[in-house]
């Protein structure tokens, strides 16, 4: 297939591009290579596959309407996977305009391009952040999610609603995936595991919000990307059983679906840190702090719908996933041992 992957230099996007190229697909990657975090890390991800003859990189911002329209008109994409977004719950409090431009305007350009060019299936990244103020666990796609606690979560919920409209009006098949706390090798430096590793190795206190009582459904990158591919290959049919008198938020009358994609085995944050300490062979200096604005205390994914429809089943426990991350981190930053000085790390990160 000919597949567009936006956010191709990102954490999830790069891994997806690799696997798609390995199985024989043609991939057009889209990424603006912005400096939200170290661009060198993004370029290093691209180096893993950018020389592949079936890969082409387009350095475009998805919020650029003219550039995106031209791109869709030049290629006959079979599938579009939108992973480009401004990420981060806390950053959305400080820089809301960035989220409006990328997550809303950019996603609107993706939808319009898919509609105009007859794309057979749009798969897009949503987030567990859409569950917002919900406290009943596990989180199900059939729950109401109209009480987000961050602008990031609100933009992801808006993406789901926008996709539903295009599925209803234009019969555009679309599937939204609510990712739950993705981690693993090649992750983003602003993510907790990256920050914790850097702080522990430097002998600096690591901030632990919610006094360590937070629970997260940590999901390993390989499990996430495998689920994305399984969803890509299953175009959602129109739901003839969907009813407006008792509307199911996870589906629609048109070819529209929403799925949770998570490990479905939540872990306490302190246990997550304990495993990291074991892998590093070094204890953390813990700085206990209250919850931050926009955070939720616990997440837990009900993935029964995704398992039923695609056979998806996550397989990686945190004990294995964190070890894989630590091994990658040591190799990427060329640490001969895990006691390297903070100044050496900082220059590279």
Residue keyed to tokens 């609603």: 161
Question: Does the pLDDT at position 116 exceed 80?
Answer: yes
Structure tokens at 156: 């992801």
Alpha helices in 75-180 (DSSP H): 91-94, 96-99, 107-117, 151-170
Residue keyed to tokens 């945190």: 318
- Active-site residue 152, yes or no? yes
Model pTM greater than 0.75? yes
Question: Does the pLDDT at position 339 exceed 50?
Answer: no
Name residues whose C-beta falls within 8 Å of residue 228's C-beta, 6 or more positions apart in sequence.
12, 16, 81, 123, 177, 261
pLDDT in tens, 222-236: 999 999 999 999 999
Catalytic residue among 37, 91, 99, 152: 152
φ, ψ of residue 285 in degrees (nearest 5): -95, 110
More confident residue, 265 or 336: 265
Closest CA to 258 of 342, 186, 162, 184: 162
**Domain 2-180+221-261 CATH (choose: 3.40.50.720, 3.40.30.10, 3.40.47.10, 3.30.2080.10):** 3.40.50.720
In this structure, how many other beta carbons lie within 10 angstroms of the beta carbon of residue 145? 24
249-272 average pLDDT score: 96
Give the angle 213-137-94 at the CA atoms, nearest 5°: 60
Give me the torsion for CA of 46, 48, 54, 58, rounded to 10°. Answer: 0
Residue keyed to tokens 């693993």: 184
Q: List b or e across 243-270, with b for residues whose CB sees 16 or more CB atoms inside 10 angstroms.
A: eeeeeeebbbbbbbbbbbbbbbebbebb
Task: Write down the domain spans for the chain.
Answer: 2-180+221-261, 192-216+265-299+316-348
286-292 average pLDDT score: 92
CATH topology of domain 192-216+265-299+316-348: UDP-galactose 4-epimerase; domain 1 (3.90.25)
pLDDT at 336: 53
In terms of residues, how long is the chain? 349
pLDDT at 87: 84
């Amino acid at each position: 297939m000919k597949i567009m992957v936006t956010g191709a230099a990102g954490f999830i996007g790069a891994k997806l591009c690799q696997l798609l190229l390995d199985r024989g697909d043609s991939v057009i990657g889209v990424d603006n290579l912005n400096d939200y975090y170290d661009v060198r890390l993004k370029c290093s991800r691209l180096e893993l596959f950018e020389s592949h003859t079936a890969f082409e990189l387009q350095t475009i911002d998805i919020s650029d309407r003219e550039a995106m329209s031209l791109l869709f008109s030049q290629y006959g994409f079979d599938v579009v996977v939108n992973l480009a977004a401004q990420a981060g719950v806390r950053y959305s409090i400080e820089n809301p305009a960035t989220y409006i431009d990328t997550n809303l305007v950019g996603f609107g350009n993706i939808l319009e391009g898919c509609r105009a060019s007859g794309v057979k299936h749009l798969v897009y990244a949503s987030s567990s952040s859409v569950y917002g103020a919900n406290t009943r666990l596990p989180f199900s796609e059939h729950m109401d999610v109209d009480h987000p606690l961050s602008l990031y979560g609100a933009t992801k919920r808006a993406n789901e609603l926008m996709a539903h409209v295009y599925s209803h009006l234009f019969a555009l098949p679309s599937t939204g995936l609510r990712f739950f706390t993705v981690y693993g090798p090649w992750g983003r430096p602003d993510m907790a595991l990256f920050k914790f590793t850097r702080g522990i190795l430097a002998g600096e206190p690591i901030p632990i919000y919610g006094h360590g009582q937070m629970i997260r459904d940590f999901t390993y990158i390989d499990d996430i990307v495998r689920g994305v591919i399984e969803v890509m290959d299953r175009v959602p049919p129109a739901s003839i059983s969907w009813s407006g008198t008792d509307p199911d938020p996870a589906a629609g009358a048109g070819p529209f679906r929403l799925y949770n994609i998570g490990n479905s085995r939540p872990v306490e944050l302190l246990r997550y840190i304990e495993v990291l300490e074991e892998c590093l062979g070094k204890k953390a200096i813990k700085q206990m702090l209250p919850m931050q604005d926009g955070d939720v205390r616990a997440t837990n994914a009900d993935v029964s719908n995704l398992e039923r429809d695609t056979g998806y089943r996550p397989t990686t426990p945190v004990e294995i996933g964190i070890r894989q991350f630590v091994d990658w981190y040591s190799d990427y930053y060329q640490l001969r041992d895990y006691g390297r000085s903070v100044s050496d790390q900082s220059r590279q990160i």
